[in-house]
Amino acid sequence: NAGVTQTPKFQVLKTGQSMTLQCAQDMNHNSMYWYRQDPGMGLRLIYYSASEGTTDKGEVPNGYNVSRLNKREFSLRLESAAPSQTSVYFCASSVTGTGAYEQYFGPGTRLTVT
Amino acid sequence: DQQVKQNSPSLSVQEGRISILNCDYTNSMFDYFLWYKKYPAEGPTFLISISSIKDKNEDGRFTVFLNKSAKHLSLHIVPSQPGDSAVYFCAASEYGGSQGNLIFGKGTKLSVKP
């Protein structure tokens, strides 16, 4: 099992450009999440998907959109990148509804917006 | 306002001694708490958790203590090893909350010196 995979690992964008961060999990988890981590900050939730076909905003959703393509895949899109979106982005997945709240994280995408 | 606080940004401990990482929370509805460990350039990995119905959970060298009245939890690592050097995040979840969403603290960087 690969667990949670993310592509790309690194990306540099110019202000105004768009891009999609890809995430896939092979653990048959129903819930998936996108976080960002900034220096001196914890992980902040951008969007999550409780199950296939549903998505909801987290703490910091502005400037992002998401798509839950199927049970395995959850993508994060930046339509018009801004320097404030320079961050490390983590995707995670979990089984919910069983009382187990452990989330399993991917290796991250380091994004720089110039 | 931060709901989960890790007030010590860093901690340095000698190999073989005990490491104690602290976490405070403000939301009395949190009922499940987790610790994650993060190495540079990797995603966070789940370490140990505790339900609010318990006051202690142990897994090998790692023990988490929960004091609900003080809204405080701590992670004890005994004995500390150089490989434990990482950033440790405390996280909390609210039962029946938004699909198991986690609220993270800002992290404590642990350095274990040989």
From chain A, the residues in CB contact with B4 under 8 A are 42
SS (H, E, C) chain B: CCCEECCCCEEEEECCCCEEEEEEECCCCEEEEEEEEECCCCCCEEEEEEECCCCEEEECCEEEEEECCCCEEEEEECCCCHHHCEEEEEEEEECCCHHHCCEECCCEEEEEEC
Q: How far is A36 from chain B (nearest CA, A)?
A: 11
DSSP secondary structure, A58-112, as one string? -S--TTEEEEE-SSSBEEEEESS--GGG-EEEEEEEE--SSS----EE---EEEE
Q: What are phi and psi of A83, to 5 degrees?
A: -55, -30
Looking at residue A107, what is its pLDDT?
96
Q: Give the HSE-up count for residue B75: Cα atoms under 13 Å, Cβ half-sphere.
A: 30
Q: Compare CB distances from A101 to B32, B106, B107 and report the shortest one's residue.
A: B32
Quick check: B44 contacting A, CB < 8 Å? yes
Looking at residue A28, what is its pLDDT?
92
Looking at residue A37, what is its pLDDT?
95
Give the separation between CA B92 and CA B96, rounded to whole angstroms: 13
pLDDT surpassing 60 at residue A98: no
Give the separation between CA A16 and CA B50, rounded to whole angstroms: 44
A33-43 pLDDT tens trace:
999 999 888 89
Quick check: B29 contacting A, CB < 8 Å? no
The sign of the CA dihedral A27, A7, B35, B27 is negative
Those residues of chain B that have pLDDT short of 50 are 96-98
Looking at residue A77, what is its pLDDT?
97
| Contact yes or no for A44 and B9 at CB 8 A | no
